[in-house]
Amino acid sequence: MHPPLSLIWFFLTAGTSIGLFTFTYFMEFLTLWGKNTALPKHMVVFSSLLSLVLIGLGAVGASFHLGHKLRAWKAIRRFRTSWLSREAVFSGAYGLSLLIFLALRYYDVTGFLYHAVGILTFLLGWLGAFSTAMIYASNKFVLEWNTSLTVLYFLDMYLMLGSSAFLAMTYHYDPRWVGTYVFLTFLFVTLGLFFRLAFNIRQAFLKRPTLNEALNLPHNRPIRVLDTGTTTTNYCTEEFYYRKGKELLPITIPIAYILTFVVPIFLLLYVWISGKNQYAFYAVTFASLLVGSLLERWSFFVEGNHVQNLFYGLYPEEGYKLRKGFMEWKKTKITYR
């Protein structure tokens, strides 16, 4: 699949926003249980404001994926059937709820209402995240994505982004919690590494359909694509198959692994073992996660193979034989008796 940059942008901004808010509110929530975890007011306000700006930027960025941005509001209409519609509704409601939460904290309304809105914002944020993940996971025609791993992994990446951002922030405002967040970030990143590995290993064992199945023809007869009925690439070949991306995958996936998992895990372990508690480590952890996730999402899209590529001879088992302006010629020998 061709990776849409606007959707990758939304992943990074919404992920950091929802993840960051989760931990910001989580600390507030614990106070309800008599725990002494209240954060300084300006930290809560700053963190919520950052979350709000990020989700706003995410929504603006994601709208570049649409042909008609001004009609985007219509996306709320099919809430009952469409995950994209649910994503739009939940993400919009999350932004609104976040704004109210921020106002309540700013004006020191920290009673029942504050926590009710906090919990609501938390729920809306994660429902939005779940809906986004389901857009990919529910697509039966991209086998690489069509698994619960896609959802688990997606949500875990939001936690990775959120906890590492929170880690850097708490270092400044309330260093009491640095140790906890070093551990949590480490935990989520390690989990993420396992999910990503599982995702990649699964691809090797996928039972993929063949052109024979697509054409509903006998399985024992070899079929080749001779002509795709189009002189150049078209919408379908461009959107669902990205040759340059496929060629780059062997480079981008290892780099994504290194930046998303290896560097953060190494840095956090180093902090843990050496006791060198410095801001730079946390800032680099977050930055590395951010850039790594960008590459990881890019690879995720390119790794996806849509079954409709079968008709064009561009599906993995076909070996990506068909190239632009290139047709395989078979030498034919005519024997004459």
Residue from 56, 209, 245, 316 touching another protein (CB under 8 A): that is 209
Cα 201 from Cα 29, distance rounded (Å): 38
* Token code pair at residue 268: 């956090």
Query: What contacts 308, CB < 8 A, 6 or more positions away?
Result: 141, 236, 240
| 40 CB burial (10 A radius; 0-12, 13-18, 19+) | exposed
* Contact between 270 and 281 (Cβ < 8 Å): yes
State in angstroms the smallest separation of the CB of 78 from another protein.
Answer: 5
* Contact between 209 and 307 (Cβ < 8 Å): yes
State in angstroms the smallest separation of the CB of 146 from another protein.
Answer: 12
State in angstroms the smallest separation of the CB of 229 from another protein.
Answer: 4
* Token code pair at residue 30: 């614990």
State in angstroms the smallest separation of the CB of 123 from another protein.
Answer: 21
Residue from 109, 206, 215, 251 touching another protein (CB under 8 A): that is 215
Residue 226 as a binder of another protein (CB under 8 A): the answer is yes
* Token code pair at residue 317: 């088992």
Toward another protein, which CB reaches closer, 200 or 228?
228
State in angstroms the smallest separation of the CB of 230 from another protein.
Answer: 6
Locus of tokens 């843990």: 272
User: In the range 75-94, which residues lie near another protein by CB under 8 A?
Assistant: 75-78, 81-85, 88
State in angstroms the smallest separation of the CB of 327 from another protein.
Answer: 11
Toward another protein, which CB reaches closer, 20 or 89?
89
The site string for another protein over 316-335 (x = CB under 8 A, - otherwise) reads --------------x-xxxx
Cα 266 from Cα 10, distance rounded (Å): 27
Residue 183 as a binder of another protein (CB under 8 A): the answer is no
Cα 136 from Cα 298, distance rounded (Å): 14
* Token code pair at residue 123: 């729920």
Residue 10 as a binder of another protein (CB under 8 A): the answer is no
* Contact between 285 and 263 (Cβ < 8 Å): yes
Residue from 106, 127, 239, 262 touching another protein (CB under 8 A): that is 239
Residue 307 as a binder of another protein (CB under 8 A): the answer is yes
* Token code pair at residue 23: 């931990």
| 16 CB burial (10 A radius; 0-12, 13-18, 19+) | buried
The site string for another protein over 92-131 (x = CB under 8 A, - otherwise) reads ----------------------------------------
* Token code pair at residue 42: 């300006």
Toward another protein, which CB reaches closer, 32 or 226?
226
Toward another protein, which CB reaches closer, 234 or 274?
234
Cα 116 from Cα 120, distance rounded (Å): 6
* Contact between 168 and 279 (Cβ < 8 Å): yes
Toward another protein, which CB reaches closer, 49 or 236?
236
Residue from 285, 306, 318, 322 touching another protein (CB under 8 A): that is 306
State in angstroms the smallest separation of the CB of 290 from another protein.
Answer: 25
Closest CA to 182 of 281, 307, 61: 281
Residue 207 as a binder of another protein (CB under 8 A): the answer is no
Where do contacts with another protein occur on this chain (CB under 8 A)?
Answer: 1, 65-69, 71-72, 74-78, 81-85, 88, 135, 139-142, 209, 211, 213-217, 221-236, 239-240, 306-309, 311-312, 330, 332-336
